[in-house]
Structure 1
Amino acid sequence: MNFILYDGVEWKKLFPITLTRPVSEIRLGLFTMKERWEKYIGKNVEDVITQSFLSKKYSKKECSFFEDILLINSSFIPNEELIQILFSLKENEGIFFEKEMIAFKKKILKKEDILSFPLEKYKKIYYVKQVIHIQYPWDIFINNEIVLKKDFMFFTKGKKSFSLEGKNHIICKEKIFLEENIKANNVVLNAQLGPIYIEKGVKIMEGSVIIGPVSIGRNSILNIGSKIYGGTTISTFCKVGGEIFNSVIFSYSNKVHDGFLGNSVLGEWCNLGAGTNVSNLRNDYQKVTVWNYEKKDFMPINLQFFGMIMGDHSRSAINTQFNTATIVGVSDSIFGYGFSPRYIPSFFLGGIQRSKKIPFNQVCGTAEIMMNRRNVNFSVLDKNILEYLYHLLDI
């Protein structure tokens, strides 16, 4: 049986986070969507079906059809009920949550038919009553605390935590899991409100406080006096500081200095300059409106706390102020006095006063410099993805 993850209609709804990646590469809790499915299934995913311009980087092989497959929508978070039904599926049987397809089993299926398999062809349909569905980018920080707790219970079961050397204040040690080679001294780890998971190679500088549930990815660095609140995931190779609340920071991104980040998602290779602050609550306490890429307008949503969604490779200058419910595209360079616009298209330079599109050679040059600083190659595939997006309108 070959397990295949695919991008459903959710891919477009998850912009700008999915402009540069398939849904399967979204991270929340302890894992990416793909990693979590693999851990629940107990084997590697055979392939990822995504947009054509992303396929060369994220898909394993090119083919016109698949055989003996179990096709899974990447935007759903697996749970015990779902996995149990998944392994009991027979030919042409599917699993649904309300009207949304989660998975189905097929002997042979053409690639172009993956998103249009008609309901009448299912021999049997199973329905799950509860499942977390990541449909919009703000669903990432909304569900991060719940998913993080479930991941912690699932992944640490039967495993032994390493000890933390140095003089530190540990509260609820039984809900703290540490991998090897963590450096910390005079820090507070408080797991009373939820678990804390810290991967290997993490360095936590003096005076830092972490209140769970929190996950810190391998080789990340927390600067002096960092304040990390619950519902936060900091991915691998990040550098963070200041105050972070209920946010997800993807790999290789930096929020090194003082400033507040709350109810937000930062993509990969982002950098927030010193003193950057993100408002996560309107002054009038009203529900927010947020930019809708499909309708090209601001739409009301049922959320009161909402900070910022920032796409990959975007940056802010020192003392940048982001308003509540701001959407920032890919490869933006934001600066200027006052609040920046609440929607910034990709590849733009500037802020509320004036802005212009960044030349593509400069986009690539900046990405290459930043990635080389972390000993990561800015590949031809990375360049091709950015170039494809660069020539699209209104992203």
Structure 2
Amino acid sequence: MDYFILYDGNIEWKNLLPITFTRPISEIRLGIFTIRERWEKYMGGKALIYTKKFLSKKYSFGLDLKKKDILKNILFINSSFIPNKKLIQVIFDLKENEAIFFKEKMIAIKLSYFYYKKNFQKIKKYKKIYHINKVIYIQYPWDIFINNESVLKQDYTILTKGKSSFNVFGNNHLLYKEKIFLEENIYAENIVLNAKIGPIYIEKGVKIMEGSMIRGPVAICKKSILNMGTKIYGSTTIGPFCKVGGEIKNSVIFSYSNKAHDGFLGNTILGEWCNIGAGTNISNLRNDYSKVTVWNYEKKDFFPIDIQFFGIIMGDYSKSSINTQFNTATIVGVNTNIFGYGFPPRYIPSFSFGGIQNKKVISFQKVCDTAEIMMKRRNVFFSFLDKDILEYLYYLMDDITSFVNI
């Protein structure tokens, strides 16, 4: 298949805020890959992205539909679903105007034609419907860390099939080596890798400093750095170009984010370009052991969910100062600057500046200046596309209704 389209379901995109404020669902990372990368590996073709208009310029990847454009014999896939072998088999068997459903939710549809104004999600008549009973469905941000272990193991199997691991030189301890896969150019000295419970996959160019300990299942993506004495527990993914330290458990850190110092991070999602200050700790369990409540952007309130272990969900470009103490189940928006005494609120709006009160707002010029400096340190250019996305969000930040309707 040459190409296919990954589309963002409107309900899923809203429910996955604040992670999706700055990206399509298909650019969410869990396991070893992003959702898009995983679908491309399974499908053997290029994924085009159908997402919110304000995100589409950066993430179009070649899909630039005009009002008169018509696509023929095209496959649409809901990007909230994680592919597996059975699902892929059914997808390849689809014929024109046939669809696949999980319960009441459409996973994929093959259309004989599609044009700009057509809403394929409202089609009611299909030539045939297939039903899939077992598939991972990412509806909320916490579904990322909940499903990270099973997806990581699945990715490990795909990546290592028929391949041989590289060796790592130095005085290191690799336990259950048959479940540890190392790519080339990894630096490690006096570390412990323990794959008894689950596999460990380390991509090329990773640097692991002395005294670090990793217990699988864990993925460390390309050119990330683990500082001295880092402790990483299972079900954790460290994305590309990150710097981490301290203690991390059952968390996913997207690319270019830092948690470089001591402090605990558990059951947490950090977006891109985040920075966690030295000594920051995140509670992932209430003192009374009860289930948590979580902020919902559409309801503008906290609502209960059936989860006990929950750290924080942090949007892109957000930062915490040294010794910040986050409460269980905290939601942090995009580009926040968190500091001050006491516990920050459990919902921190985007572009907010401060601690307990969070009544100040960062100026947009400061937002851009900080992003440019931060990205330049990693030899990455703060593009006009990045700026346009942040600007769009910035001038909607006082109108939550606008946020959930974009």
TM-score band by shorter chain is over 0.9
User: Is 2:105 the counterpart of 1:104?
Assistant: no
Shift of 1:155: 1.6
Shift of 1:62: 1.8
Aligned to 2:31: 29
Aligned to 1:167: 171
Take 1:226 and 1:278, find their aligned partners in 2: how far apart are those partners?
16
Q: Residues 354 and 90 (structure 1 numbering): CA distance in 2 closer, same or farther, change over 3 Å?
A: closer
Do the aligned partners of 1:260 and 1:276 also contact (CA within 8 Å) in 2?
A: yes
Do the aligned partners of 2:198 and 2:234 also contact (CA within 8 Å) in 1?
A: yes
User: Is 2:242 the counterpart of 1:238?
Assistant: yes
Pick from 69, 74, 77: which aligns with 1:69?
74
Aligned to 2:287: 283
Do the aligned partners of 2:50 and 2:63 also contact (CA within 8 Å) in 1?
A: no
Do the aligned partners of 1:336 and 1:353 also contact (CA within 8 Å) in 2?
A: no
Take 1:234 and 1:147, find their aligned partners in 2: how far apart are those partners?
14
User: Is 2:143 the counterpart of 1:139?
Assistant: yes
Q: For 1:18, give the aligned amino acid.
A: T
Aligned to 2:194: 190
3-state SS in 1 of match to 2:211:
coil
Shift of 1:113: 2.6
Residues 310-368 of structure 1: per-residue CA shift (max 9 Å, x gap): 00000000000100000000000000111100000100000114431110000011111
Q: How many residues align?
A: 393
3-state SS in 2 of match to 1:108:
strand
User: Is 2:90 the counterpart of 1:116?
Assistant: no
Take 2:284 and 2:161, find their aligned partners in 1: how far apart are those partners?
35
3-state SS in 2 of match to 1:71:
strand
Q: For 1:303, give the aligned amino acid.
A: I
Take 2:72 and 2:297, find their aligned partners in 1: how far apart are those partners?
35
Shift of 1:107: 1.4
Aligned positions of 1:147-296 closer than 5 A:
147-296=151-300
3-state SS in 1 of match to 2:87:
helix
Q: Normalising by the residue count of structure 1, what TM-score does the alignment of the two structures yield?
A: 0.98
Take 1:29 and 1:70, find their aligned partners in 2: how far apart are those partners?
25
Do the aligned partners of 1:221 and 1:237 also contact (CA within 8 Å) in 2?
A: yes
3-state SS in 2 of match to 1:112:
coil
Aligned to 2:6: 5
Residues 66-116 of structure 1: per-residue CA shift (max 9 Å, x gap): 222010000100001100000000010000000000001011112333453
Query: Unmatched 5+ residue regions in structure 2?
Result: none
Do the aligned partners of 1:247 and 1:261 also contact (CA within 8 Å) in 2?
A: yes
User: Is 2:27 the counterpart of 1:43?
Assistant: no
Query: Unmatched 5+ residue regions in structure 1?
Result: none
Pick from 318, 330, 334: which aligns with 2:322?
318
Dislocated runs of 4+, deviation >6 Å: none
Take 1:243 and 1:70, find their aligned partners in 2: how far apart are those partners?
43
Aligned to 2:58: 57
3-state SS in 2 of match to 1:368:
helix
Do the aligned partners of 2:280 and 2:320 also contact (CA within 8 Å) in 1?
A: yes
Question: Aligned Cα RMSD in Å?
Answer: 1.0
Shift of 1:129: 1.0
Aligned to 1:328: 332
Take 1:170 and 1:178, find their aligned partners in 2: how far apart are those partners?
11
Residues 40-78 of structure 1: per-residue CA shift (max 9 Å, x gap): 111222x10000000000012322432220100001000
Residues 9-37 of structure 1: per-residue CA shift (max 9 Å, x gap): 21111000000000010000010000000
Shift of 1:154: 1.6
Take 2:263 and 2:252, find their aligned partners in 1: how far apart are those partners?
16
Deviates more, 1:154-163 or 1:177-186: 154-163
